A = this chain, B = another copy of it.
């Protein structure tokens, strides 16, 4: 069908024109995973990806930090959402692993793959999929969250959202930022594990951001998977999560973290943004999440904006 003037752009991230969102040309791909199964309280992460896509269509393409419309330059392709598998959390995680590995190793493939949750448990599948196409020794994970997610098992499942970081650790080291809620067992584990580095929320919110140097060192020359559980942010700007813990990260700090990762890593082949549980009638959190995903694509594909200078 012709008629560009009459009809809207296709239903994709940022509402990009057909050619800019074509998988053959787009350097960034976005995979929605509307999965929710093991959440305890609050519900609705299954509606997260659709809400982010809807909100993204209102995000202005122009980005003052870059002085142009970055997405028009690099292009973003939005894939069909992953099918849900409800045989078991493990089966779903395997499906995510398979999809990520398939997308990253296809003939046509993205430079950066963004994944939209859904609950945080999917990140275990993301890191495993990545490890199938990438030497695991070169991998590290940067993890923004309010919770340590370091339980070995939760409510009977090792693939619960509360075990996401523990599953990631089976693949590679992790650098956690914004943590402010965890169990005795997790506290003990954090203090003895050499593969976990934790920046608690007070440190993460420190006005000078001293931890950013440690973060830069951690990602240096590494292939980084950046996983953002939105409850790492402060509930004042991100109430639409299952357990909104007071004392979280600000929008500006979140961007500094992303810039640091993108500016010092060898590459960021994958990131995910998870746990948005949209609140009917309240669009600000969806909009913020959409802007964050756009920023993450821009930083990881174009290099960090401001820190370059």
Which chain A residues numbered 1 to 21 have a C-beta less than 8 Å away from chain B? Answer: 1, 3, 5-11
User: What is the oligomeric copy number?
Assistant: 6
Q: Shortest distance in angstroms between A56's beta carbon and chain B's nearest beta carbon?
A: 11
- Chain A contributes a number of interface residues (CB within 8 A of B) equal to 89
Flag the segment in A44-52, A215-223, A263-271 that touches B. Answer: A44-52
CA distance A288 to B99 in the complex (A): 34
Contacts of A85 in B (CB 8 A): 155-157
Question: CB of A307 within 8 A of chain B?
Answer: no
Question: CB of A137 within 8 A of chain B?
Answer: no
Flag the segment in A165-173, A243-251, A297-305 that touches B. Answer: A243-251
Contact A288 B157 (CB under 8 A): no
If A61-B183, A180-B64 touch, whether A6 touches B83 (CB-CB below 8 Å) is yes
Contact A37 B40 (CB under 8 A): no
Question: CB of A138 within 8 A of chain B?
Answer: no
**Per a CB cutoff under 8 Å, which of B38, B242, B279 touches A37?**
B38
Closest to A4 in B: B83
Question: CB of A182 within 8 A of chain B?
Answer: yes
Contact A91 B6 (CB under 8 A): no
Closest to A32 in B: B8
Contacts of A47 in B (CB 8 A): 43
Contact B243 A251 (CB under 8 A): no
Question: CB of A195 within 8 A of chain B?
Answer: no
Contact A80 B7 (CB under 8 A): yes
CA distance A98 to B187 in the complex (A): 34
Contacts of A182 in B (CB 8 A): 60, 62, 64
Contacts of A38 in B (CB 8 A): 37, 86
CA distance A58 to B68 in the complex (A): 40
Ranked nearest first, the 7 interchain pairs of A and B with the lowest CB-CB distance are A280-B280, A88-B88, A244-B284, A236-B236, A87-B156, A280-B281, A85-B156
